[in-house]
Each structure stands twice: as C-alpha cells, then as structure tokens.
Amino acid sequence: MTAPLSLCVYCGSRDGADPTYAEAAEALGTAIADHGWRLVYGAGDVGLMGRVARKAQAGGAETFGVIPTHLLQREVGKRDLTSFIVTETMHERKKVMFMNADAVAVLPGGAGSLDELFEVLTWRQLGLHAKPIFLLNTNGYWSKLTDLIEHVVASGFAGDDILGFFKTVDTVEELTEALEAI
C-alpha cells in the first residue's frame, strides 16, 4: 500500500477581498480530508491557510504544519495539528514543507505565496524536482501572473518548457481531478 498523497498548499495569511477565495480554501481543505490526503502547509491559523487547515482537520485529514519562530504570533501558529514543526528561518520552513510533499497547490495569496511559488518553479526549471505544481485560479486570480510568465518566455528570458512546469486550474474540483491523476 502506498502512502496517501501529501499536498503542500501555499496561500494567503489573509482572506483577500473576494469571498470566493475563502470558499475555495475551505473546499480544498474538505477535499483533502475526503480523499484521505495529508495537508502540508505553513501552520498558520489565519486567512486562507487557517481555513484550509480547519476544514482538513474537521474531515479527519492529517495536517503537517511548519512555521518559523518569528511568525508564531503573527500567523497564530496552529498547534493542534498532527505534526507541528517550528523552524528558525523562512528558508527552513519552505524546505521542510516542500520535502514533505508530493505535489504543490498555490491558492490566492500575496508576496509570501509568490515567493513560495517561484522558488519551487525555479527548482523545477533547474531540474531539482519533478513534483506537480498547480495554481488554483479562483475567479482568475492568477491569470495576470500566467500572462507575465508567458511574457517572460516571449521576451526570451525563459524557455517555453517553463509553461509546462505548472498547471492552472479554475476550481477545486479540477484540482482534485488533477491530483487524483498523479
């Protein structure tokens, strides 16, 4: 028997202005539990990340949270997770999260989510991993980013292979289907 899928979720520590972002985060947490997958995330109990975690927990999913010391108060470290790891730095946090995941899903978020996405995308481009990366494009949130990446390719700063290193999906249902296929 193989281990259940471990999904690393990068997302906002805020809810964002559009209520559909929160709805999608909660739907993803529920889907993780319904499929018997494990959530790997930033261990916060605020914003979209808290919503994903609470729904995953409510459904009985394993939760693996990683948070650096300096964010314990700001992100309200969620200590009731299956695994709760405190790191010294953000770099360690990202490494531990990624190393404990089979795939990555990026929900709407800010600079931190972008940082996490571009780090794993760069690692993929450099051949350091082959894990699937998904952008959950709730209400077109990531459309301008994908346009920018296409512009980077068209401008000659990346090969068009980078466009195949991530997949954009519009709904949690599409994301779930894609994850089931890996």
29-68, pLDDT tens digit by residue? 999 999 999 999 999 999 999 999 999 999 999 999 999 9
47, 13 Cβ separation under 8 angstroms = yes
Domain boundaries, the chain: 6-180
What 3-state DSSP class applies to 7? strand
Let me know: does 99 contact 6? Beta carbons within 8 Å. no
pLDDT at 75: 85
Read off φ and ψ for residue 92, nearest 5 degrees: -65, -40
The whole-model pTM stands at: 0.96
Total number of residues shown for the chain = 182
- Collapsing DSSP to helix, strand or coil, 91 comes out as helix
Evaluate if residue 73 carries a pLDDT over 90: no
The whole-angstrom separation of Cα 60 and Cα 70 is 29
Residues above pLDDT 90, as percent of the chain = 95
Distance between CA 122 and CA 23 in Å, rounded?
A: 29
Q: What is the pLDDT of residue 131?
A: 98
Hey, what are 124's tokens? 């993929």
Residues with Cβ < 8 Å from 90, sequence gap 6 or more? 68
Phi, psi values for residue 64, rounded to 5° = -125, 105
User: In this structure, which topology does domain 6-180 adopt according to CATH?
Assistant: Rossmann fold (3.40.50)
Residue 3 is predicted with a pLDDT of 85
Residues 6+ apart with CB under 8 A from 168: 134, 135, 137, 142, 146
Is 1's pLDDT higher than 70?
no
| pLDDT of 178 above 70 | yes
User: Are the C-beta atoms of 58 and 50 separated by less than 8 Å?
Assistant: no
Q: Which residues contact 94 (CB under 8 A, 6 or more apart)?
A: 116, 119
- pLDDT-derived band at 76 (thresholds 50, 70, 90) equals confident
Q: Specify the higher pLDDT residue, 70 or 75.
A: 70
Position 164 scores a pLDDT of 98
For 123-156, how does the pLDDT look when each residue is reduced to its tens digit (9 = 90+)?
Answer: 999 999 999 999 999 999 999 999 999 999 999 9
| Cα Rg of the chain, angstroms | 15
